[in-house]
Structure 1
């Protein structure tokens, strides 16, 4: 409970906390088990560590309690007041300089005036990074992700970011499990540079969850969403990327552990290749994707037949056929809506609960 309260010192005085948000942070940090997080928060409220903020569902910490939290967290959590010198403390031999190399969680939100051009290295101790509108020279910042071998969680939201250097990330983020790239309206490319393409790039050996959302300048994910780069990925979401034209849909069957695939709101996808699906897939969502014409595993053999699938196809006006991949009798639940050209689904048709 002490550690759960002490992490609140990272936030400014008068910050309004949501119960669910703090619970997620505590669980992610390993302070409590998921089933105990809610009761831990309630215990802190009952002991007056938190107070209700007006009539809302949010809570605040009294200023004296906030000072206490900073004292309790000394040595574990600390606040840098001058962010321009964040990774190069002005006094290299100071205690602050030593502590920075034990930093595990880095959250930077709504700090648009930071200039990261001079950044050289990040602490290799980092395990979680969240970056939301975090300043200028952000392309340089993300190219400095070297030796972050412990990093498991990376979330980026930035309107100025234009490029993600895939070869740098793959080589240095071996433990990355969760990647979330959202609201990067200037991002045009996630790729391997020509110079790096002549050498082995490596793999995201731990990456299991990928979300790319609301990146309206992004043109292609053909080079990023490759089975060779992420062999154990389980969840892929690609949502509301209005200019996205290329996805490796004919390679999807090679994601041997993929369980959930969601493609939504990508109206400019060029789907001349036939979509293939892995037998491991348990949830498929294709929504507002007008260029998808065929889902076809027929040439891959019976080993690629999907079973126990939850299927939703919505507003796919060019979808003509689903062959080889999905027998209707094997669908656990299905929702097909606004697919006027759909003429063929692998038989036999067997009525199932929730099938419509």
Structure 2
């Protein structure tokens, strides 16, 4: 579909709009919040030539009216690589779900504009050009965020608090329960991000296939008092000389291809608080020496332990199916 055709399409009471494989360079003139006041869902898919979206340009700068015209709750942009987000971006505070996959350039600026998104519960980002996630902006403005998925961000080097912001209280992700960071091969550290102080009620943490990742706060894990599921997989450069400590709430643990982990130490739990019913998978952890404390083989509900040659206290391989995959 070309630009001259799409101009005839809109209906003023439109609530759900999906534009797929549009070949024009500019968005239609009616794609503005003041023209589509009832719009709750916007999807742009495979619009490979489009260069800008006027929908997110402030229609009434410094006006209360600009806060009252938005009803958009769902934003999905996928395979639109030429959108330029360098200009002023105003995202509606009504948003509840955002999915961004290969969504243009100047993406660092776009994700720094996540202001007043107090209703947002779901955020998924997949973008090879993204280099930085401004943690202080997200924590301060995404109080309702429950699900965060960051994947295939091959240029992402940092998820951190800026030096200037570190001098002031940053806040917390008070609702965040599910976090996945996967296939971010330039990312070096998650020490500043995966902190119990930032996400006090998180239940699921997955860190997978981040080939350059060196730092994880494994000695802080026991402070995630509600953590139920932990997966660390395919991160061969992790420098985990610190002892991994686990919370008593943990029910599923998966460590695969983590060559530098040496100790899983849960002696802090004491004899009265053991990790009973744990589903455990340990595979290709060649430096793992010992599991100290509250994990015992007899209490593993389901599991698979294999290719951990220094772990002499357990006869390998051990398989109790159905183990967690």
**Relative to 1, partners in 2 of residues 1:67 and 1:192: Cα closer, same or farther, differing over 3 Å?**
closer
User: What RMSD over aligned residues (CA atoms) do the two structures have, in Å?
Assistant: 7.0
**Relative to 1, partners in 2 of residues 1:307 and 1:152: Cα closer, same or farther, differing over 3 Å?**
same
Asked if 1 retains the 8 angstrom alpha-carbon contact of 2:279 and 2:324, the reply is no
Deviations, residues 161-200 of structure 1 (Å, cap 9, x unaligned): 0000101000100000000000000000000111111111
Asked if 1 retains the 8 angstrom alpha-carbon contact of 2:287 and 2:310, the reply is yes
Query: Equivalent residue for 1:268?
Result: 237
**Relative to 1, partners in 2 of residues 1:299 and 1:117: Cα closer, same or farther, differing over 3 Å?**
same
Asked if 1 retains the 8 angstrom alpha-carbon contact of 2:40 and 2:71, the reply is no
**Relative to 1, partners in 2 of residues 1:235 and 1:70: Cα closer, same or farther, differing over 3 Å?**
closer
Deviations, residues 212-258 of structure 1 (Å, cap 9, x unaligned): 00000000000100001000000000000000000000000110100
- What secondary structure does 1:252 align onto? helix
Query: Equivalent residue for 1:66?
Result: 39
Asked if 1 retains the 8 angstrom alpha-carbon contact of 2:220 and 2:245, the reply is yes
Query: In the TM superposition, what are the counterparts of 1:23-172 in structure 2 within 5 Å?
Result: 83-88=52-57, 101-172=70-141
Asked if 1 retains the 8 angstrom alpha-carbon contact of 2:147 and 2:177, the reply is yes
**Relative to 1, partners in 2 of residues 1:267 and 1:107: Cα closer, same or farther, differing over 3 Å?**
same
**Relative to 1, partners in 2 of residues 1:354 and 1:194: Cα closer, same or farther, differing over 3 Å?**
closer
Structure 1 residue runs of 5 or longer lacking an equivalent are 1-26, 34-54, 60-64
**Residue 136 of structure 1: how far off its partner (Å):** 1.0
Asked if 1 retains the 8 angstrom alpha-carbon contact of 2:48 and 2:80, the reply is no
**Residue 347 of structure 1: how far off its partner (Å):** 15
**Residue 100 of structure 1: how far off its partner (Å):** 5.9
Q: Give the whole-Å Cα distance in 2 for the aligned partners of 1:68 and 1:166.
A: 27
Q: Give the whole-Å Cα distance in 2 for the aligned partners of 1:133 and 1:236.
A: 24
**Relative to 1, partners in 2 of residues 1:108 and 1:96: Cα closer, same or farther, differing over 3 Å?**
farther
**Relative to 1, partners in 2 of residues 1:207 and 1:69: Cα closer, same or farther, differing over 3 Å?**
closer
Asked if 1 retains the 8 angstrom alpha-carbon contact of 2:48 and 2:79, the reply is no
Name whichever structure is richer in helix by fraction. 1
Aligned residues: 300
Asked if 2 retains the 8 angstrom alpha-carbon contact of 1:164 and 1:191, the reply is yes
Q: Give the whole-Å Cα distance in 1 for the aligned partners of 2:173 and 2:286.
A: 35
Q: Give the whole-Å Cα distance in 2 for the aligned partners of 1:290 and 1:284.
A: 16
Asked if 2 retains the 8 angstrom alpha-carbon contact of 1:328 and 1:347, the reply is no
Q: Give the whole-Å Cα distance in 2 for the aligned partners of 1:29 and 1:262.
A: 47
Structure 2 residue runs of 5 or longer lacking an equivalent are 8-17, 23-37
Query: Equivalent residue for 1:200?
Result: 169
**Relative to 1, partners in 2 of residues 1:87 and 1:70: Cα closer, same or farther, differing over 3 Å?**
closer
| Greater shift in the superposed pair: 103-112 or 302-311 | 302-311
Matched, 1:322 2:291: yes
